[in-house]
Chain A
């Protein structure tokens, strides 16, 4: 009351830490996540597809609200920040209590507690010492450690197991915070992803980033070879690339990477992402047969723009390689970069006659002058250039994420499968002055199983008590006398 500001702060703190806020935040995260999977997302979807799917006004609206890139929009990150704050606030709010509970266990129950505890039983005994002794033996029988609690005016027994289970939920929440720290803080600030294309033999330190910019690495990567293996039916079986890391001009690392097995160097990871042909010629093997039939057949090998002498008078140059050609209006055009319908343009020069002949393979009518060439060419083998596509990423936050995963696995195991079990045994006197042993138990979860083991404990104590005492007069001997196992 005294300070309105302080009370406002306290109120918002309480709101933030309440389970209701948590549930509302979870619902909001779910709603926006659904939106992010239903609405087409920006970097992945082709801009043309976006325009086809939405009207311009709609697209403008979606873009301006960040709905086309939900998971990277500032408000989604802000929402998850709120979730983290809520988890922290809830944990801070509840932790002191839980810690007190954990560090100072409640060992000798008072009368009020004894009355209220739902799971309890009473057993008739002759005197305190005999009852407590029997209970101790029963605990030992059930592999439980018990301790005698000595107060000024009373003795009692206390036994417990798995106290750590009370802390488990904080472990789980801490692991969630580690996820957020790794993904939304470390990786969002220091992480990056990009793409790199290499031909065998080439070296590069440039990475095309998702955003379209280029990033230069402090070291460079050389590709010593790449290839594809296929199954007999043609489906790809394996893609591989031999990569070498060159740091300050010297070889720092070397690895043959395949899909599912990347190269890691200084926290930068290189993944085999794709493999293909660039549509450029690497080498063409040809047989050159003299057109007049005199002379031997020569085997020649050409790469682009290379010139080879066939005889002292004749030279051949590979002028152009078209991977997928189409003829239109007397010109040859390339339709695509896929090697599906290749054509080769060669120029045969005759020094003596001072003329050049345009030879095309295959012979394109109207353009090719193959007939006037002194040599006929028979293609033998066509080798086109291959490339390896490398996905490159730097995600320093992943260690926080993996630590979070391990922590969460441990936490969940404790939350669901490790039960904090407590037993108290207190000798009391009932209204008529008879000595009784009050036995109580509590478990923080899995109540049914606990009720079962509590019954077993009570039966065991009775067994230990019975040899020397008669059963209380008003209680039937068969059922557990005085056992009141209350419902929930």
Chain B
């Protein structure tokens, strides 16, 4: 924490959100609110087949439907048709890496590779007409056998997603720390299991949407886009259309949830809508509907692990071996971010001296996999936590004790994990203090009391109650950098602009708190603008739990620079040395003589004179633009504990209590952090028991609606989420902050599996998969019973 924050009024406080009055009174702009004169509407024809050669597409009837302005296929795009960017290339530091880049294409030319792959776009006077015209299009498909099963996909006779590749292998990576095989020889107990993790959707409240308007007279293109990465999108659209980056303005207004898929760049719709708007010289709008979201928006999870853990009799981990398959779907534009995160998070919070990790990324005829809140981390956590549970059981050891014995000790930081992670650098944990969080969670849940008294009493009543308690780490705040510009305006109010977009994270408040403390102004007088490339055009975006860490620190740096300028100028104006000045109540004043003061507004006017001569080498105004780029990730940590009750008749699971002891370094706003944790936990609950995308053997998605794809409802959430905050500041940034956006989602499936196993202890089941469901749980119980008989 910086000095200004230590003495400030806002950082660390539960400041209510600056943006909420607008959101709650309907004054916030979302993409679908953009309504322009002469606007046209787009609808996409998407493949009904997961894998099919497209022989021809006849759009002639659609073109003649009244109200249809244009119909385009890949053929009509000419030279504008080109595969999208490889958003994240594979890390060059990993030796022997195999990676076949196959990025997303605007529209299908030869083969449809997943249901939902776009084939054509209709632009019409209304969305109704556009959708009706989709039915006029005749596609001549040659259906091909679909690649669905991850293991069968790699068999020699499997059909190929890409005919030019020898197999469906998209990537192969091996990383090692120490020597697992040697460690295994020393082990008292070796446990090996297969663990399966299935897919879910991001299911943001707001689907994707794009509106593009070309102004021929000013030669300016404006694009409103539900993107998490407005600046890279602007650059991509400009490059694609052959425009200067300054001719394209991308606005990411208020967005109803990002959760990862909206970080995707140059998606078909994002490219085609601006292209059509320029070509037709009329605004074009496309708003994704919910079914399109299921088949047209990227998804995640989907891995099969063969894991092995080697431990000593006293519970020390000697090594972990994890070999897994990762489903990337039909394309791999996001490189290896997700499986690399799995690799690094399988080590979790533990001092694992020997590690062998190997993954194969597999092309399948399913929707593309890119990060969804958690981004590979929950899979790694699930594997390690399940293996520790099995080891503890085998050793007859308390499950919290085995974790405690293996935590990286507080004096071992920075701790080197040796493997290369998604940030393309060695995985190094910057800081942490894990045992206090475990103790806190145990106290909050009443661990010993539950096991010794409550559980035996309830079991005697015939009730199936169980407890789950697991740890997690989260690498947060990856680089490369973000920037911000802070300006004191002549009104005395402060304007902050940054390049990241906002999808509900509370940036308008957290960033304002940082600035308000630096400049001594009211937090309501700080106006934050995010996601508008006309206002700030350097940066990458909002993802990987990095907003508060990377953009937050950039805002802090810029505000700190402005503070320096303020003090320098005020010192002259007030005739007092800088160190005697203080910034408070929108003024600069001499600390001991409060009446000797000048308001920030007046100072801003003096800093930007209309006449006279300015000193050479000075900048006008009380303004600064600055950037922040962390060297490595700031590592957050936490422990989640829950109590569940299982109804053995219906196999419904009720989460009765849920507690989390969480450490994300310096907390800027505990209320916002709580909100992030609540959201993450609810996704974690979904990933545990509700949310599962079911593909059949032909690659058809069988539950592409909220009737069939279950999100946890408010009634599926525990009555209360108890949160305990701990603060181990990160040494990697001046504010000491760590990210929290994904935290809640990571540990829940592991905690849920442990708790359900505990609740059904008399059935002797082992849970080696997620998500579960009542019927799946029933099958597992039946299988265990069958095995006993």
Query: Are chains A and B native binding partners rather than an unrelated pairing?
Result: no
Task: List A residues at the B interface (Cβ < 8 Å).
Answer: none
Hey, which bits of chain B sit against chain A, CB under 8 A? none
